Amino acid sequence: MATIHDVARAAGVSISTVSYALSGKRAIGAATRDRIDAAVAQLGYRPNAGARMLAGSRTNLLALSAPLHADTYAPAHMTFVLAIAEAAREFDYDTVLLVQDEAVNGLRRMVSSKLVDGIVLLDVDRDDSRVPLVRELDIPVTLVGIPADTTGLTCVDLDFEAAARLSVERLAAQGHRQIGLIGHPEELYARGSNFPIRFRDAFAAAAAEFGVGTHFVMPEQEPVSVRVALEELRRELPGLSAIVLNCNEPVHTMALELLRQDGASIPQDMSVLSACSSFPTDQLDPPLDVIPLPALITGRRGVELTMNQLGGYSEPVVELVPPAYIAKGSTASVT
Amino acid sequence: MATIHDVARAAGVSISTVSYALSGKRAIGAATRDRIDAAVAQLGYRPNAGARMLAGSRTNLLALSAPLHADTYAPAHMTFVLAIAEAAREFDYDTVLLVQDEAVNGLRRMVSSKLVDGIVLLDVDRDDSRVPLVRELDIPVTLVGIPADTTGLTCVDLDFEAAARLSVERLAAQGHRQIGLIGHPEELYARGSNFPIRFRDAFAAAAAEFGVGTHFVMPEQEPVSVRVALEELRRELPGLSAIVLNCNEPVHTMALELLRQDGASIPQDMSVLSACSSFPTDQLDPPLDVIPLPALITGRRGVELTMNQLGGYSEPVVELVPPAYIAKGSTASVT
DNA sequence: GCCGTTCGTCGAAGCGCTTCGATATTGCGC
DNA sequence: GCGCAATATCGAAGCGCTTCGACGAACGGC
């Protein structure tokens, strides 16, 4: 492996000149720079990561704390992980993955060994055990998800409250008076999982505000359970004409299949809207109107906010990504 | 942050003594060691990662190359990632995650900047673009998955051939003469994806060997497509009495639901076996006999093989994990 | 033509750790 | 009681990089 020393010799300059030429932190003559660039290319020189970490103030490594609960929906989770790892690369950062126990315990290790410059926390619960920890860690941290107490923290997430309100608003404007909400499995709510609860509560509030009746069910990812849930909606909401799905893809598929079997066509007999979904709904049959969970945007923003903190000082902020509504023709006005 | 210097002073010894006490590479007096341990604990000392990398020969970082194709089944993929990250920790290693483009391009960067000590490649295709690359990289590498040409490479994977043979063998022994195989979506095979092809081909060979009729279908993850696939099996195999599922969880659920709707009870009317599944099949209705895809075992083994290479020299090996058969009562003898 | 700048380059001092010889101390055989 | 081997500890030399202060050269203003 070539070292900076080799490059310096090949270019006929000193080590510090090479360093400055590569970092751009001081002006370097054009001719000199060219010779250095040529030497770098010819030797295939790459700065030694360890040396850089030790001498410089940056490690160019980002910790990604990604605990995975038994009930975590893997595809969504994965999308966030991908978004963050890719966004990090745009800042010339690599990502150290901390899973399971290490998602909590590893953080302190990352910081005290100075392995990483910053941390992104994924899948933050309302009352997350990582929150008190990162509060005392003196390092840039961004939480993807909003904990109960955000004091002093930088957070980013989809504005689930606005998304819930938008769902109700659109359907109410179409004349729907009874709107069913299909949520995630019950454990998630019991565990204090973040966004399902925020969505559910804001949905209820919006329903009250717009004066529409609503009922909430939490089926398991399992056909029988979904059928029971649908039946419960019909029983509780006699004039049911619209359903909002705030659940995983398999439950979407099952619900659509069950509606088909019941002879309910979409959107004539039933308007269906997918809210906060991390997967493409236009592959479903029929394609569904959707308020996407923009994992790519949110994840990337989580990295950006961390990088901002690395630069100058930025005040802690809670940043809510506004929801978008994408129509696919699966909702219609009540006739 | 405390440095080794602080620890040395607090314990009243030299820096090198602290280093040796912590690494155990030279004998240290019991009393001295105790004082050092106390100082370490009291100061909360953690070796600086950059300094360690630079001075030592190890970085204690492992690269995990995990490209994610559009058709990759996220839960299975995630299980491998988790298994590897957790196994790495048992060797005191952290995992640098390389996704998408970086899964290929990042590798060279990892090596030439000496950021990582070893590499694990996930989701290796038959003709994977990373294979020629890692062959020329002078660093411990383990592939999870078996490429077409394994010369000079260390690989580990479930023995899919044996798994396919085991499937046929068990069902043939129960007297089944016509066995349907439901595979993954067609794109996977077209792309040269690794294990679906290995399973399919070995299945056909085993069927020929045991003299049973078989037919292979590749439904999309979509109820209509699964229904069509089932109908095709029934049409092609008039005496169909057993089905092997080598596909994703949602397709399992759909197939079982369709069989139920057709009034076919398991195992009386139809024996069903799930082969090489990364998810628990006892949550299905009914629970299915399964030959598991042992992601935890395979992933961990991938790490272990890499660590072995880091230690002494070990010859490249292709290690096939033998399949296991777990009965849940979803297959029965033909009556 | 002299002084104060600006520009381009260099030497050297670390960053915190590992590791290779020493050196000092102890214990043992005879 | 002497020498030799083990045992315990230390000092110092790097690992490859960043960054600070210095310094020579070129340049414009007067």
Q: What is the tens place of the pLDDT at every residue in B115-169?
A: 999 999 999 988 999 999 999 999 999 999 999 999 999 999 999 999 999 999 9
CA–CA gap between residue A97 and residue B83 (Å, rounded) = 12
Q: CB A81 to CB B102 under 8 A?
A: no
Protein-proximal nucleotides of chain D (any atom < 7 Å from a CB): 7-12, 14-21
B54-82 residue pLDDT tens: 999 899 999 999 998 777 788 889 999 99
B161-178 residue pLDDT tens: 999 999 999 999 999 999
Q: Who among A59, A94, A102 is closest to B50 (CB)?
A: A59
| Mean pLDDT over each residue of chain A, to the nearest integer | 93
Please tell me the predicted confidence (pLDDT) of residue A192.
Answer: 80
Residue owning tokens 């935890």:
B296
The tokens describing B79, both together, are: 């299980």
Q: Which of residues 16-55 of B touch strand D (CB under 7 A)?
A: 16-17, 20, 26-29, 31-33, 51, 54-55
CA–CA gap between residue B12 and residue B114 (Å, rounded) = 34
Label the pairing between strands A141-144 and A118-121.
parallel
The answer to whether B236 faces chain A, any CB pair under 8 Å, is no
Please tell me the predicted confidence (pLDDT) of residue B69.
Answer: 76
The answer to whether B235 faces chain A, any CB pair under 8 Å, is no
pLDDT greater than 80 at residue A266: yes
Distance in angstroms, CA of B16 to C1' of D13?
A: 13
- Cβ–Cβ under 8 Å, residues B182 and B248: no
pLDDT band at B307 (very low <50, low <70, confident <90, very high): very high
Distance in angstroms, CA of A59 to C1' of D7?
A: 40
Q: CB B223 to CB A253 under 8 A?
A: yes
A43-102 residue pLDDT tens: 999 999 999 999 998 999 999 999 987 777 888 899 999 999 999 999 999 999 999 999
Q: Is the CB of B49 under 7 A from strand C?
A: no
Please give the residue of chain A at the shortest CA–CA distance from B51: A54
B251-281 residue pLDDT tens: 999 999 999 989 999 999 999 999 998 888 8
Please tell me the predicted confidence (pLDDT) of residue A285.
Answer: 85
Q: What is the DSSP code (8-state) at residue B322? A: P
Residue owning tokens 């979509």:
B222
Q: CB A222 to CB B115 under 8 A?
A: no
Q: Is the CB of A26 under 7 A from strand C?
A: yes
- Cβ–Cβ under 8 Å, residues A217 and A243: no
The answer to whether A96 faces chain B, any CB pair under 8 Å, is yes
CA distance A153 to chain B (A): 23
CA–CA gap between residue B329 and residue B325 (Å, rounded) = 12
- Whose C1' is closest to the CA of A57: which nucleotide? D18
CA–CA gap between residue B76 and residue B301 (Å, rounded) = 16
CA–CA gap between residue A182 and residue A103 (Å, rounded) = 30
**Dihedral angle at the C-alpha atoms of B238, B244, B248, B252, nearest 10 degrees?**
70
Distance in angstroms, CA of A311 to C1' of D22?
A: 30
The answer to whether B175 faces chain A, any CB pair under 8 Å, is no
CA–CA gap between residue B289 and residue B163 (Å, rounded) = 13
Residue owning tokens 């978004």:
A83
- Whose C1' is closest to the CA of B17: which nucleotide? D9
- CB under 8 Å, gap of 24 or more: what pairs does A36-44 form? A36/A7, A36/A11, A38/A11, A39/A6, A39/A7, A39/A10, A39/A11, A40/A7, A42/A10, A43/A2, A43/A6, A43/A7, A43/A10, A44/A2, A44/B112
Protein-proximal nucleotides of chain C (any atom < 7 Å from a CB): 7-12, 14-21
Please tell me the predicted confidence (pLDDT) of residue B36.
Answer: 95
pLDDT band at B191 (very low <50, low <70, confident <90, very high): confident
Q: Is the CB of A23 under 7 A from strand D?
A: yes
Please tell me the predicted confidence (pLDDT) of residue B221.
Answer: 87
- Cβ–Cβ under 8 Å, residues A80 and A293: no
CB atoms near residue B149 (< 10 Å): 12
For residue B86, the surrounding DSSP H or E stretch is: helix B74-90
Q: Which of A17, A57, A11, A69 is nearest to A36 (CA)?
A: A11
pLDDT greater than 90 at residue A221: no
The tokens describing B217, both together, are: 């279908």
Interface of B with A in 134-173 (CB under 8 A): none
Interface of A with B in 197-216 (CB under 8 A): none
Mean pLDDT of A195-217: 95
Q: CB B224 to CB A285 under 8 A?
A: yes
Percent of chain A at pLDDT exceeding 90: 84
Please tell me the predicted confidence (pLDDT) of residue A335.
Answer: 78
pLDDT greater than 90 at residue B92: yes
pLDDT band at A164 (very low <50, low <70, confident <90, very high): very high
pLDDT greater than 90 at residue B285: no
pLDDT greater than 80 at residue A208: yes
Q: Is the CB of B23 under 7 A from strand C?
A: yes
- Cβ–Cβ under 8 Å, residues A259 and A284: no
B310-325 residue pLDDT tens: 987 678 999 999 999 9
CA distance A115 to chain B (A): 6
Q: Looking at per-residue confidence, does B1 or B86 come out higher?
A: B86
Q: CB B253 to CB A249 under 8 A?
A: no
Interface of B with A in 251-290 (CB under 8 A): 253-254, 257, 283, 285
The tokens describing A106, both together, are: 């590893």
- Domains of chain A are 4-47 (1.10.260.40), 61-158+295-321 (3.40.50.2300), 160-292 (3.40.50.2300)
Question: What three-state secondary structure class fits A141?
Answer: strand
Contacts of A41 in chain B (CB under 8 A): none
- Whose C1' is closest to the CA of A2: which nucleotide? D16
Distance in angstroms, CA of B19 to C1' of D3?
A: 32
B199-226 residue pLDDT tens: 999 999 999 999 999 999 999 988 899 9
